[in-house]
């Protein structure tokens, strides 16, 4: 009996020692983080708005992170393949994913293997209003021209988006629904390819948001018909808002960072602090302005709350507009 008690005490002692070792290993891992390069999955093509945002971060963030930030693009499927791959990655802080408006919209348009609760939020970094762009020699010079033509010719005007069921597709569907028009929607594997298609006149228009199309508008390759915001873009002061043209439609794309569920809170804080320091960096701010995207910060906690609010908003919008097939089948 005495030996059994000794054995039991020994087992318990080993158990708690093991727990202590794991705990200290976790602390040491967080303290040493990061010790190698960090990857961020961008579930869209290179050249799209989300890709541009994080490539701009990658140019400056090593100053604050201490290691390189590597961009991994996995375009197609309105972001689903990229998110499906990201959710299976280790939650060690070395595998980030770009979390943006389409992350939520696609979830409610059709069934996906993930939702916003599959990941932990880190930080929100940008928020840009959507705009409609057309080829440089398009007959449409403003939203009034575009909407009038669409009403007169239902289904004849094509509009590119960054993927079926994604954020821009949803914005385009909401736009035609609100304005009482019918467009032909053409999905591409990301914002970059949709812009290329518009420049090449393969489509009549494209729904996107800065920085997508920004260089092409500045170079005169594309025309912006209007921006769906409450105020004009700082760097394009001559471009009127939709509201100024009698179109009271407001939708935009926000972008942030998420990690696989269960990532250590100390690691999340280190990631947050490095991205926030980069956002405050004057050199980076100039680069962001030149690239054409608008910085908007939300802390980890605020970004979590924002995601909950946005998830409910898009769920209600998609249900009320009877969009997609998740709630209709």
Cβ contacts of residue 74 below 8 Å, gap of 6+? 41, 42, 43, 81, 82, 85
CATH number corresponding to 35-127+254-321: 3.40.190.150
Whole-structure pTM value: 0.80
pLDDT of residue 102: 87
Look at residue 74 in the predicted model and tell me its pLDDT: 95
3-class SS of residue 19 = helix
Query: Fold match between 35-127+254-321 and 129-252?
Result: yes
* Residuewise pLDDT in 10s, the chain (329 residues): 455 555 555 555 555 555 555 444 455 667 799 999 999 999 998 988 899 999 999 999 999 999 999 999 999 888 999 999 999 999 999 999 999 998 998 899 899 999 999 999 999 999 999 999 999 999 999 999 999 999 999 999 999 999 887 889 989 998 998 999 999 999 998 889 999 999 999 999 999 998 889 999 999 999 999 999 989 998 899 999 999 999 999 989 999 999 999 999 999 999 999 999 999 999 999 999 988 889 999 999 999 999 999 999 889 888 887 888 899 86
d(CA 42, CA 299): 21
Q: What is the DSSP letter of 258?
A: E
Q: Does domain 129-252 have CATH number 2.70.180.20?
A: no
Cα distance between the two ends of the chain: 65
**What pLDDT score was predicted for residue 40?**
98
285 Cβ contact list (under 8 Å, min separation 6): 279, 295
User: pLDDT value at position 156?
Assistant: 97
For the chain, give every domain's residue range: 35-127+254-321, 129-252
Identify whether the C-beta of residue 124 lies closer than 8 Å to the C-beta of residue 279: no
Q: Which of 223, 269, 246, 206 is nearest to 31 (CA)?
A: 269
């Amino acid at each position: 009996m005495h030996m059994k008690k000794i054995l039991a005490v020994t087992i318990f002692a080993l158990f708690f020692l093991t727990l202590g070792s794991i705990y200290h290993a976790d602390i040491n891992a967080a303290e040493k983080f990061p010790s190698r390069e960090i990857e961020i999955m961008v579930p869209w093509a290179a050249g799209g708005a989300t890709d541009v945002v994080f490539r701009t971060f990658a140019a400056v963030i090593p100053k604050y992170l201490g290691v390189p930030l590597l961009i991994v693009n996995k375009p197609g499927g309105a972001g689903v393949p990229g998110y499906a791959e990201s959710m299976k990655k280790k939650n060690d802080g070395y595998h980030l994913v770009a979390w943006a408006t389409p992350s939520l919209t696609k979830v409610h348009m059709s069934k996906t293997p993930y939702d916003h609760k599959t990941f932990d939020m880190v930080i929100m970094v940008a928020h840009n209003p959507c705009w409609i762009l057309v080829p440089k020699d398009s007959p449409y010079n403003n939203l009034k021209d575009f909407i009038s033509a669409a009403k007169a010719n239902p289904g004849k005007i094509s509009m590119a988006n960054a993927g079926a069921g994604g954020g821009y597709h949803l914005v385009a569907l909401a736009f035609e629904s609100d304005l009482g028009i019918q467009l032909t929607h053409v999905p591409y594997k990301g914002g970059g390819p949709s812009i290329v298609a518009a420049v090449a006149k393969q489509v009549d228009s494209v729904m996107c948001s800065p920085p997508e199309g920004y260089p092409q508008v500045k170079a005169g390759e594309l025309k912006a018909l209007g921006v769906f915001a409450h105020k004009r873009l700082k760097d394009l002061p001559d471009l009127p808002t939709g509201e100024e043209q009698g179109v009271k439609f407001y939708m935009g794309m926000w972008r942030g960072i998420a990690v696989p569920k269960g990532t250590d809170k100390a690691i999340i804080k280190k990631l947050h602090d490095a991205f926030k320091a980069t956002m405050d960096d004057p050199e980076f701010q100039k680069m962001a302005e030149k690239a054409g995207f608008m910085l908007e910060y939300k802390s980890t906690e605020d970004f979590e709350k924002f995601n909950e609010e946005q998830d409910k908003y898009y769920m209600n919008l998609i249900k009320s507009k009877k969009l997609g097939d998740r709630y209709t089948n």
